[in-house]
Structure formats: C-alpha cells, structure tokens
Amino acid sequence: MADHRGSPQGMDRRRFLGYVLAAPTLMAAAELGGSAVAPEAAAAIPTLPPPADLFDLNDLLSTAAVPTSALITVQVHSDGTASFALPRAEVGQGVTTSTAMLIAEELGLPVEKIKITLADSRPELLFNQLTAASNTTISTYTPIRVAAAIAKGRLLAAAAIVLGDTVTNLTSKLGVITGGGGKSVTYGELAQRAASTRTEQVSVTLKPRSEFTVIGKPHNRIDALDAVTGRKVFAMDLRIPNALPTMVCRPPTINGKVRSVLNAAAVRAMPGITDVVTISTGVAVRGRTFGQCVDAVRALRVDWGKGTAAGASDASVLRELKAAELPLVVPPLPLLAKTLDAGFTFAFRSNSALEPNCAIADVRRDRAEIWGSLKSPIVAQQAIAAKIGLPQNAVRVHVTEGGGSFGRKLFFDAALEAAEISRTLGKPVKLMWHRTDDFRQGRTHPMCTSRLRATYAAGNVLTFEHRHTSVSTDFGHGLGEIITALAAKLPVGDFTFSQTVFQLTQTMPYNFGVTTQLLNEVNKGFNTGSMRNIYSPDVCCARELFVDQLAAKMGKDPYKFRQEFARDHRARAVLDKVAKVGNWGRAMPAGMAQGIAVHAEYKGFSAALVEIDCRPATVNRKIPSARTGPRVTKVVFAVDAGLAVNPRGLEAQMLGGISDGIALALTSSLHLKDGYFLEGSWDNYFYTRQWNVPKDVEIIVMPPTTGQPGGAGEFGVAASYAAVACAYTRATGTLPTTFPVNHDGPLGFDPLPTVPPIPQSPTDGLRNAF
C-alpha cells in the first residue's frame, strides 16, 4: 500500500461526503465502501508482484461495497450516548470495540458512551454485510469516522447557537461543549437540536492521525464485563417464546440421508419430547430440555442411506489430490542452476468454534424470524426464504453475538436447518448441534497438498513454483456473488472461482525470480469452508519450511536468508524485530530449537520466532486423555497491521492465532475413515490446551506504517504455524511431510460409535469435583 494515505497531505486531509438524516435526534450517515489501493514497488531478482499484492481479497471485499448506496448511521441520543448498528458479526474478534473507538475518536465521546449493536440482515447492503477475510476494519474505517465527524460538526453548530458563540471559539471534551464565556452544553442536550428535519449531504474533514487520542491506544473490550459475569447473550441464551430445545439425529457417514425412521412414535412418547420429524439432514427432535433431546436422538432407530463421501479415507483423498496436482514447469535455466523440491500434505481440520452450530427459528405461514451468529446474513436470509418458500422480505434475520467463528459462521447451516424444522413443525425451535455432530458432520478445512520447486545459482534464487491442491472449499456464503459481480475488475484473468480467491490471497514475501503459485481443487463430497483463513496458513507453512531448506542448501542462516530476499521493508522490519527480541541464534540444548517465519497478507506483515522443546522428557509427559508431544516454550510475534486501531485487541487476535498455529503444526486434525471422521470430542480433536501453551509469549505491535488499518482476525495464524513447523524441523532434524506432525501417528483416543450418533452425558460429575 502506498504511504501517502496516512500522511497529512494524503487521504486523511481529504474531504469526505456524508449525510445528516431526517430524524428526531441527531443522525449522521456515510456510505459504506472503500477504494482500491495503489501498489507498492519492490526489487533483488525481482519477483513480479503476485495479484494479491496489487489487489487483494480485501480490496475486492471493499470494492464490492462501492455500488451500494446504503448508509451506515451514527445516532446521538438525549441521554448523551451515541449508537451504531454494525453490519458485521462479532464473534470474538473485537470489531464492536474497535468500531466504538472509531466513533469515539471523531465524535469526542468516551468509548463507554458508544453503544454498538449488530445490525439485522440488510439486503440493501448487497455485498456489504459479509464478515470475512478480516475485512471489517479495512472497509469500515473511513465511513464510520465520516459519519461520526459529521455528527460532531452538527453538535458544534448547534452548540454555537445555544451558547451564542462561534464554532471556532468552542472547545469540546467528553461529550461537553464549552463556549468562550465558560458556559457549556452537553451532547445529550444538543441531540434533538442538532437533528435535521430533512436529509442533506454534507462534507467533512477527518482528524489527522497526529491528533488521535483513541485510535491506536490500547482499549479493553466493550463487552468484557458481560463476558465475565455470564451476561453476554449468545443465540442459545435467548428466550424466544415456545422455541424449545431441538436437536437432530444425524447419519453415521458424512451427509448420509434418512431412508426411514423405525420408531418415531416410541421416541415421541419419551419424557419431555414434543416432536419427532424427518428433515433433509436427519431426524429432528424437539423437547423440553436439550438433555431429553439427547436421549431421544440416541433412542431413534433410523435406516440410513449412503453419504457423499462413502468409503472415503485419508488415503483415498490423498490419492485424488496427488492425481490432481498441477505440474511444476521450470523455465530454461543456466547450466549451473540447482533444483530443490519438496511436498507436504495437510490433513482435514475442524473449524468448529466452542459455541456449536446453533440457531433459533420461528417460521409462520407468512413470515419467519431467525436468530443466529451469522457472518453472511443477507445470503442466509435469501437461502432461508428460498428453502421455506417465503419472499425474502418476509424473513427477518437477527445477528446475535457469536461464540467464535474460525470460518464456521460464514455459513448458516444451523439457521437453514432450524428454519426447515420450524416450518415442518409449525413451531418455533431452538436448534443446537451436538459437539460430536459438529466434528463429524460440520464443516472442515479441506485436506490439501503443497508441492514446491525452486532453482538457485550463484547465491540467487532464480525460480520458485508452488502448486497447492485442495479438496474443494465451499464459498457459497456470498464471496461467490461478489467475485462473479466483480470478475471483470480483477487482475487475475479468467481463472476459476477458487483460483481467483487463491490468487487474491497469496502474497509472496520473497524475491525469488520467476514465481508462480497455482491452485487446483478436487472432490466436492465434503462439508468444507475456510478456517481462520482459507489457503494461507498451509501455503505459508509449506513455503517457510521450504525456505529453510533452500537457505540450508545455499549455506545461509534462516533469518539472514529471509532478510536478504524479503521483497518489502515492512517484512524485513518484522523479521528484524522478532530476531532481536527473541534472541535469534541463541544456543539451545539438543532437542530444542528456534524457528522463524514471515507472512504478508491483509495489507500487513507478521513474523514469528518460536522455540520448541522436542526432548523425550517433554514429548512423553503424561496428561490424562491429552495429546502432549513437543511443547512450544516461547513465541515472539511481531505484527505490522498498517495501523492498529486497538493494539490490545490486535494482540489478543495474535495470541489466538498463535494458539491455532501450534495446533495446526502439532496436534489438531480430523482422521477420515470409511466415510466419516473419527473425532467426536474435544478430547479427540486436540486443539491447543493449557498443557501445550507456551509460557512465554511476547507480541509486538509495530508502530503505524501505512496509517490505514489492515485485517487482524486471521492474521496471527500463518506465521506462527510456519515458525512452529520450522522450529520442529530444526529440533528433530527431520522435515515433516504431513501436518499436523502427529497425524499419521497412533490415534490417541478410542473413536466414539457412529450409531447412535452422539454420546450420552456421563453421570460422574460430582465425583470429579475439586
């Protein structure tokens, strides 16, 4: 991104257009949307910038908003607060807090006085209500500030009249405007006076960055108190009249279909159960408590048809992937050039959040209401309307706070299913997936392979090729429509849809001469989606491992090599930072090692330095029902997000990304066998737990570089994942070829049965109390 955008004479000093809307109290508005970003040049044997450098997925998502005329509005109320309905999902990534900060900055109110809610689906926003690719702050940074600044201007003008003064004489602080004579008036008192009886367009100048007092300063989350007191309301905590607990008895293999139900009447007669009905995905049961629904699901006897992955296993999918790998084609080379090859396999992984798939639906004859944490509520609204045969405007979709997303909430599987059940029963339902269903039938990050080849001679890398081959990723959540709509504007030629996404997300941080990165996809039989990023974590892990190999072949230190070939000074800066703070190269005992990696994406740069302990005493430490293995002991992570609106929130996101990176490299995967995933519990799917947490984590938020915020939610994963993999390789002296590294080892748990599809809750909870 070009640097002028954050400079005093750049974008920040330009005037922006917005509106004052006719409303009883002051309401200011701006159009949601952003502008494409200018490229930045680079040079060594220069690698032509990949498309993602010129125009990345975020530009696409921002550009998608331009044709809409839909407005976002900041309203000032008579009690001195301001409110804003954010057309995005909050799933833990902190966008409600950073949004409140943007408004507080321009409006001059304390953050605590800004109330952020999540907007219902707003079809008029077209593509602009999709929470994806860490795009929220990138696309809303300017419009939200414009609306807030317009509100501030109106307040000042109204205050000037009340105080009998001129605007330039006024000072304002924390919601109070004071005139030259010392008289003052509050925002609350001005809220009605500053309101407009008609809608008019106004222009406004935004604060220069040098005057920021809120943006860029660490702030705690605005929902923290609710979170620690149990008051934060998630979908399943809502009490919608008569929306009784509902669960679905699911097939023993992926996407199997109900042929017949053998004992529906008997199950309907079970205690607490009100309904049993066959739907497209299984057999739904509704009852007084979820516990009784579990009993009912377990009691159902169902004849199941085959699923969409019948008979498939890890090995059979890997064969398909291998067969689909696009060839590596090295161009003609000087005689003395040498070649390096590598290949990696990445297992299926679950993108399940801790909150399971869930939604509430109340479908009536002529209208429907849906509640759920949805990142693509407009697409959900359209799909639900189509499924239940109602016009789109008869379906209201309320976006609730989400208990994590990691890709899951881009889709609306539970909302669609809840709507189908509610329509079939004619009753409201509170649908929740069992955890085991979430692992076995829920979406996964697809299995994939990466093949790499580089040629090098005389201290230079001449060519670099990367071929990524993946089980097909489902993008049926709105990204599809966006890409179709904007296809002509994209600098990627006529690639397939997934290839387009790949090209728009894959940056290349190194000058490795002629560079090609390509994607191919196979097999649509799985329920897939992104998982805290689409391709990048795996692609980055493969690339960084390969870079270590290349450095070794060329006789160079991994850090020095990266620094030398980095295409961008921002990449070098984060590398230098972690190398210095993490004391790169320090002596370590045998079986321990450091690893370093760098990643560019979301208009930002990140680097991680990791230390790992692979000594037997550590690897074999015993924790009941747990995956122990190697332990990451230290992580130093540097992030340059252009401009961190809330550095504390950014740190939190990086911390989460590190936890994911450790899991991806070492412990967490799904094993496919006979058409189903063996994992069915958090004690089978080994996401990072306290015993695998590094005790020493230091996250460094780099000072602002571009002056424009980059994405944060997904950005922490790739570099930490890659650095753990590199450290592991150096500690053990063996290059792993399958990730996570333990995937092909002993299973580490006894798989739950598939019939009944969910386990009964234990009864020994009192004995285990401590």
Partner 1 sequence: MPEHTFILNGEQVTVDVEDDVRLLWVLRDVLGVMGPKYGCGVEVCKACASHINGKVFNPCAVRVGDVKPTDRITTIEGLPGTVGKPLHPMQQAWLDRDVAQCGYCQPGQIMTAVAKVRQAKAEGRKITDADLDEIRNICRCGTYNRIREAITAAAERM
89-108: contacts with ligand FES (CB under 6 A): 92
Helical H segments across 261-370, by residue range: 264-268, 290-299, 314-324
* Cα 341–Cα 659–Cα 349 angle in degrees, nearest 5: 60
693 interface partner picked from partner 1, ligand FES, none, CB below 5 to 8 A per type: partner 1
121: left (phi over 0), alpha (psi -120 to 50) or beta: beta
Q: Smallest distance from the beta carbon of 421 to partner 1, in angstroms?
A: 17
Q: Smallest distance from the beta carbon of 92 to ligand FES, in angstroms?
A: 5
Residue 435 touches partner 1, criterion: CB under 8 A: yes
Considering beta carbons, is residue 294 or 448 the nearer one to partner 1?
Answer: 294
**Given 79, 124, 211, 237, the residue binding partner 1 (CB under 8 A):** 237
Q: Smallest distance from the beta carbon of 252 to partner 1, in angstroms?
A: 19
Say which amino acid occupies 597: A
Considering beta carbons, is residue 293 or 593 the nearer one to partner 1?
Answer: 293
Strand order across the 176-178 sheet: 171-173, 176-178, 184-186
- Give the CA dihedral 621, 734, 312, 248, nearest 10 degrees: 40
Residue with the CB atom nearest ligand FES in the bound state: 354
Can you tell me which residue has the tokens 């008997």?
A: 266
239 interface partner picked from ligand FES, partner 1, none, CB below 5 to 8 A per type: partner 1
Q: Smallest distance from the beta carbon of 299 to partner 1, in angstroms?
A: 13
**Given 354, 386, 747, 755, the residue binding ligand FES (CB under 6 A):** 354
Answer whether 373's CB lies under 8 Å from 234's CB: yes
Stretch that binds partner 1, among 249-257, 300-308, 354-362, 502-510 (CB under 8 A): 354-362
How many CB atoms sit inside 10 A of residue 605's CB?
30
**Given 167, 199, 426, 691, the residue binding partner 1 (CB under 8 A):** 691
**Given 404, 491, 591, 751, the residue binding ligand FES (CB under 6 A):** 404
Q: Among residue numbers 291 through 330, which ones bind partner 1 (CB under 8 A)?
A: 291-292, 294
Q: Smallest distance from the beta carbon of 695 to partner 1, in angstroms?
A: 6
Residue 354 touches partner 1, criterion: CB under 8 A: yes
Residue 173 touches partner 1, criterion: CB under 8 A: no
Residue 233 touches partner 1, criterion: CB under 8 A: yes
Answer whether 548's CB lies under 8 Å from 80's CB: no
Considering beta carbons, is residue 148 or 273 the nearer one to partner 1?
Answer: 273
**Given 320, 557, 683, 744, the residue binding partner 1 (CB under 8 A):** 683
Residue 233 touches ligand FES, criterion: CB under 6 A: no
* Cα 91–Cα 97–Cα 101 angle in degrees, nearest 5: 155
Q: Among residue numbers 81 through 110, which ones bind partner 1 (CB under 8 A)?
A: 91-94
Considering beta carbons, is residue 87 or 92 the nearer one to ligand FES?
Answer: 92
How far is CA 381 from its chain centroid?
A: 21
Residue 38 touches ligand FES, criterion: CB under 6 A: no
- Give the CA dihedral 164, 170, 176, 178, nearest 10 degrees: -60
Q: Among residue numbers 605 through 624, which ones bind partner 1 (CB under 8 A)?
A: 623
Q: Smallest distance from the beta carbon of 375 to ligand FES, in angstroms?
A: 16
Q: What is the 3-state secondary structure (H, E, C) of 201-250?
A: EEEEECCCHHHCCCCCCCCCCCCHHHHHHCCCCEHHHCCCCCCEEEEEEC
DSSP 8-state secondary structure symbol assigned to residue 516: E
Q: Smallest distance from the beta carbon of 593 to partner 1, in angstroms?
A: 22
Dist CA 427 CA 423 (whole Å): 7
- List, as one string, the DSSP characters of 374-398: -SSHHHHHHHHHHHHT--GGGEEEE
Considering beta carbons, is residue 123 or 759 the nearer one to ligand FES?
Answer: 759
Residue 224 touches ligand FES, criterion: CB under 6 A: no
Helix (H) or strand (E) holding 448: strand 448-457
Dist CA 456 CA 512 (whole Å): 9
Residues that bind ligand FES (CB under 6 A): 92, 354, 404
